[in-house]
Amino acid sequence: MKTFPIGGIHPSDCKEYSKGAKIERFPVPATVTIPLSQHIGAPAVACVAKGDKVLVGQIIATAGGFVSSNIHSSVSGTVVAVEPKADAQGNMKPSITIAVEGDEWAEGIDRTDTVVKAINMSPKEIVDKIAAMGIVGMGGATFPTHVKLSVPDGKKAECLIINAVECEPYLTADYRVMLEQGERLLIGARILAKAIGVDKIYIGIENNKPDAIAHLTKLAGAYLEIEIVPLKMRYPQGGEKQLIAAVTGREVPSGKLPIDVGAVVQNVGTALAVYEAVAKNKPLIERVVTVTGSTLASPKNLLVRIGTPMSALVEYSGGIDGIGKVIAGGPMMGRAVSNLDAPVTKGTSGVLLMPTQESLRKAEGSCIRCAKCVEACPMGLEPYLLSALTQQNDYDQLEAHYIADCIECGCCTFSCPSYLPLLDWVRIGKAEVMKRMRERSQKK
């Protein structure tokens, strides 16, 4: 069975808590807070003001540049504020707050359950539609999808890879989508393939989800261009570069993009959102969020309107008693939440509640040069060295040791027997080196 070439770890997948829970529609909250920057790139620019009435699906902020995204209202009601609100990490971010009144949808959105199979748009129309509907990568990186679909001149896409790996422990949002919305997902993938002009679609799924593999393989029988690729379970297989290597055997060179090896990768959630945008004219206003944890009374997979406060989801799934840490996303790459009133955004794939006794890290020891981090690094870097060099502020050496290649997957910290916060430091060093590299290229 295929997998990526170097490094990787085997965390226990902990998906059993929520994998059986069907996707539930989460009730519309009383107010939503929709941040203007839910994607990588320039923040969107608000096009509504305090007091305006909005409908579900109505555009409320327009893209602030090419690498940016439109934002639509996820509810109907009145705009009560357009001002900075604390995000999940407590930092103030420009947001639009809407008080909910009823649930009236904007015109033109097809809310029926009929599956639309035919795609009658040209590639350019598809990309424009995706841009207009505010679709971004929903695996967590939130890169605007229309940018990824715009293949630069001189480069050619050869295949589309649908990232159905969901290698983060605990999360089951993509898994449930595959089981429950498989048909729509495949149509979404075909729309994406048409947009970039390729006739080969790989769907990479890890072998800890055999029922999803079986289900999609059956459905894909109708489409010759779709190939389901079962992958050997190993974290971080869902990393873009790792997935491409696992599926096609091609390695994206340092500093290059997937398109340089002819691949475009899109997440399961993105493919579904693309189907809804293109076939049903529905903007990205809701997403599936896994709310889970080992001590939770009822872990769930919820279809949540963007802007719903996380505290509402936590309350709904069993409350915060005995919880020491709340994580937006998975346990390997998700970010700890300090402000529970912060909203679910386009990139929130899960809300993980960790019990108090699992929340604190163990005391740091000293590096014993065991090389476990070197062995685990999927990019072939030397985390122990990068961490030490960062603490010495030796940025030239950091660059020479390819710190910019780091994908921040966390394998190094996970595998360190001395509980050293390797990635904490590497992240700092990488940010500084990237800044220096950018400054240099601007000077040229």
Partner 1 sequence: MESQKLVISPAPHVHGSNDTRRMMGDVLIALLPALVVSVLVYGLQAFVVVAFSVACCVLVEWFVQKFIFKRPSTLGDLSAIVTGVLLGFNLPANMPLGLIAIGAVVAIGVAKMTYGGLGKNLFNPALVARVFLLVAFPVAMTTFPEATGAVSGATPLALAKESLKAGVPVGEVMQSVDLASMSLGMKSGSLGEISVVALLIGFGWLLVRRVISWHIPVCVLGTMALFSSITWLCAPEEYMSPLFHLLSGGAVLGAVYMATDYVTSPMTKKGMVVYGVGIGLITMLIRLWGPYPEGMSFAILIMNSVVPLIDKYIRPRRFGSVKSK
Partner 2 sequence: MGSLITTVLVVSGLGALLALLLYLIAKKFNVEEDPRIDQVEKMLPGANCGGCGFAGCRGMSEALVKRDDISSLYCPVGGAECMKSVASFLGKAAPEREPMVAVVRCAGSCANRPKTNQFDGAKSCLVASSLYAGETGCSFGCLGLGDCAAKCEFDALHINPETGLPEVDEEKCTACGACVKACPKMIIELRKKAPKGRKIYVSCVNKAKGAVARKACKVACIGCGKCAKVCPFEAITVENNLAYIDFTKCKMCRKCVVECPMGAIVEFGFPPRKVVEEPQSAKTE
Partner in contact with 169, chosen from partner 1, partner 2, none, beta carbon below 5 to 8 Å by kind: partner 1
Crossing angle for the helix pair 173-180 and 182-196, nearest 10 degrees?
100
The stretch near partner 1 (CB under 8 A) out of 93-101, 102-110, 371-379, 430-438 is: 371-379
Q: For partner 1, which is the closer residue by CB, 182 or 318? A: 318
Considering the complex, what minimum distance in angstroms separates the CB of residue 369 from partner 1? Answer: 5
Q: Which of 91, 199, 417, 440 binds partner 1 (CB under 8 A)?
A: 417
The pair phi, psi for residue 55, each rounded to 5°, is -110, 165
Interaction between residue 325 and partner 1 (CB under 8 A): yes
The pair phi, psi for residue 251, each rounded to 5°, is -105, 125
Q: Which two tokens stand for residue 437?
A: 């590299």
Interaction between residue 427 and partner 1 (CB under 8 A): yes
CB atoms within 10 A of CB 407: 17
201-206 and 226-231 strand pairing: parallel
226-231 and 263-267 strand pairing: unpaired
Q: For partner 1, which is the closer residue by CB, 302 or 332? A: 332
Rounded to whole angstroms, the Cα distance separating 310 from 305 reads 11
Rounded to whole angstroms, the Cα distance separating 281 from 279 reads 6
Considering the complex, what minimum distance in angstroms separates the CB of residue 432 from partner 2? Answer: 9
- Where do we find the tokens 């985390």? 383
Element (H, E) at 398: helix 395-400
Rounded to whole angstroms, the Cα distance separating 247 from 360 reads 37
Write each residue from 223 to 262 as x if it is in contact with partner 1 (CB under 8 A), else as -, in one continuous string. Answer: ------------------x---x---xxxxxx-x----x-
Considering the complex, what minimum distance in angstroms separates the CB of residue 387 from partner 2? Answer: 9
The stretch near partner 1 (CB under 8 A) out of 42-50, 58-66, 177-185, 361-369 is: 361-369
Partner in contact with 381, chosen from partner 1, partner 2, none, beta carbon below 5 to 8 Å by kind: partner 1
For residue 212, give the nearest of 244, 186, 189 by alpha carbon.
186
Total residue count of the chain as it appears in this document:
444
Interaction between residue 22 and partner 1 (CB under 8 A): no
Considering the complex, what minimum distance in angstroms separates the CB of residue 403 from partner 2? Answer: 15
Interaction between residue 30 and partner 1 (CB under 8 A): no
**Chain positions contacting partner 2, by CB under 8 A:** 86, 89-92, 335-336, 338, 359-361, 421, 424-425, 427-428, 431
Partner in contact with 334, chosen from partner 1, partner 2, none, beta carbon below 5 to 8 Å by kind: partner 1
Q: For partner 2, which is the closer residue by CB, 86 or 374? A: 86
- Measure the CA dihedral 187/193/196/199, to 10°: -150
CB atoms within 10 A of CB 381: 21
- The residues in 146-175 that bind partner 1, with binding defined as CB under 8 A, are 169
